[in-house]
Amino acid sequence: MPGGDDLEDDFVADELVELSEEEGSLHELDDDSNDYADEPTPTAAANSPSDSTVLSKKRKRREKEKEKRLKKRKLAEVAEPKQELSIAAQSPEDISEYLATMQKKSFTDMSDIELDDMRIPSSAIADTTAWTNSRSLDLLADFIMKSRSVITCLLQPFISSPRLAHPPALPTLRTRLGQKPKSTGAPTLLFVTSAALRVADVVRILRDKRLRGEKGGEIAKLFAKHFKLSEHVDYLRRTRIGAAAGTPGRLGKLLTETGSLAISALTHIILDVTHRDAKNRTLLDIPETRDEVFKTVLGAPSVQKGIREGKIQVVLF
């Protein structure tokens, strides 16, 4: 009978036995590298000769996770830029300086003396610093509306509603918008903005019955997209409008080339400088619209005359 040490010459160790022994060692390492275990178990500490290496790996992993969290936090802060005070909310003097700076970009060949002659003085700029609420489009009606009663004024310190707690910035404009226009194509308000879609949004707000009442005129929508210049000329010559919202290019042509947009009743020109396009540019940041504003809208001879005589006020929204 052969002894226990007598093996056949071609004996091969059972692979299952070898693998099971290796897997046992691997399981021990896996247990030691568990992210949620603060310390290795006594068994792992006794059987694993590389315990310090495993702990070092865990520390490095935690440090990397901490770095990732810090990076995410910094990215979130960058994605939410701090709100700066809009130029529209500043004093007439500051706005006059700002407009002069923008105007100079449109008239690069003019001397300082010539630019001063075209400058919009602070006296021609509406002081809207009392309006401390947002200058978002959904509050445009409140921005220009005169609707506060005597009781509302008395209760002013106790009012918490943002729509009532801020006084209207342009109360006289609200009065004029509610009056019946005397002539065709002669609005009391021009609202100048940079894009056709924005014009459509503004028109919807200006059609609010709180602004127009029962007697107010039509609200004209004036931009080049989908409308020929001749169509707007015909419309203005037959329609009594209380306000017109449009892009500076189309408004400028109607003012300077056709004469169909009259300024006989014009009292306010609102420049939509708070709105930004997809490239984060305002009406006066875009070179094309800036030039059109200063050369054909504010630069129209009839408009300049009205500003100098104190009949037209410029408003930044």
Give residue limits of the domains in the chain: 15-79, 87-316
Greater pLDDT, 252 or 71: 252
Query: pLDDT tens digits, residue range 178-229?
Result: 899 999 999 999 999 999 999 999 999 999 888 888 888 999 999 998 899 9
Query: pLDDT tens digits, residue range 133-163?
Result: 888 898 999 888 743 333 333 344 444 444 4
Handedness of CA 169, 170, 174, 175 (dihedral sign): positive
Dist CA 23 CA 20 (whole Å): 5
- pLDDT, residue 66, reads 79
CA 158, chain centre distance (Å): 31
At 92, which amino acid appears? Answer: P
Asked whether residue 129 carries a pLDDT value surpassing 50, the answer given is yes
Asked whether residue 36 carries a pLDDT value surpassing 90, the answer given is no
Asked whether residue 300 carries a pLDDT value surpassing 50, the answer given is yes
Dist CA 255 CA 263 (whole Å): 8
- pLDDT, residue 161, reads 47
Cα 73 to Cα 60, 224, 288: the distances in Å are 20, 45, 38
- To the nearest whole number, what is the mean pLDDT of the chain? 79
Query: pLDDT tens digits, residue range 9-25?
Result: 454 444 444 444 444 44
Q: Cβ of 295: how many Cβ atoms within 10 Å?
A: 17
Greater pLDDT, 122 or 28: 122
Using a 10 angstrom Cβ sphere, with 0-12 exposed, 13-18 middle and 19 or more buried, the burial of residue 95 is buried
Dist CA 266 CA 243 (whole Å): 9
Q: pLDDT band at 78, cuts 50/70/90?
A: low
- pLDDT, residue 189, reads 95
Give the class (CATH, top level) of 87-316. alpha beta
> For residue 315, which of 83, 99, 85 has the smallest C-alpha distance?
99
Residue with tokens 């065709």: 184
- pLDDT, residue 50, reads 65
The helix/strand/coil state of 221 is: strand
